[in-house]
Amino acid sequence: MPNIKQNFIALFLIFPLISIQSINCQADTKSLFLADSLFNAKSYQEAYKQYVDILKNEDAYSPAMLLKMAYITEGMGNHEETTLYLSKYYDLNPNPKVISKIKALTDQTDLKGYEISDKAQFFKILTDYQQEITGAFALLLITGLILSITSNKTKKLQYYIPIVLFLALTFISNNFLKAPETGVIKESPTIIMREPTAAGELLAKVNPGHRVIIKSSTDIWYQIEWEGKDAFVKKSSISRL
């Protein structure tokens, strides 16, 4: 009876959470359908307002939506916003055409942060499937633990090394297999400093469009990666992706 009671309580607590999540997903889908309908009807201003609201929920938007937002803002002549949405799209789906478009919008051929390499592509695949990879390692870890518990004493030792290995892989996948936080420079000019102070060494003075990896945050500064080195930029100069 105690087990039945505990299971009932657990289900009673979990069911509302699942229901709320399902309702939120339906609401997001409905909002996106409405926005897409407005876009297809060429009611771009109304569609854009809907897309902006959807974008506030990071799990709701899609790459296709970002391209539509870029299309609308380019038509409005707001190239800064267009660059931002294309940079967001690049984070989800990096490809040369997006890079070419961003360079054309910013009128810069030497933009940094958009390099496509085999290593970066492979790491992106890993981060895209981070939950699945972590789940697989966790399942193998649990399987190893079960086998070690149910086996006789003479066979227990052969499971210890795999258990430790899968434990380490699960920990690494869960804590370190994550896409880096990125941002796009939005102000002209933006000053990149060696230290987080206006009196520090000047590294570069750049125009909007450059994509950077944000490593940490301190006061009014972001610590970023610039040409393979640590640098600092004022938060007001960067839009986080």
Q: Are 170 and 134 in contact (CB under 8 A)?
A: yes
Give the torsion through C-alpha atoms of 20, 62, 93, 214, to 10 deg. -60
Q: What is the pLDDT of residue 2?
A: 43
Is residue 100 scored above 80 in pLDDT? yes
Tens-digit pLDDT profile for residues 148-167: 888 776 666 677 888 889 89
Q: What is the pLDDT of residue 151?
A: 75
Cα(191)–Cα(207) distance, integer angstroms: 9
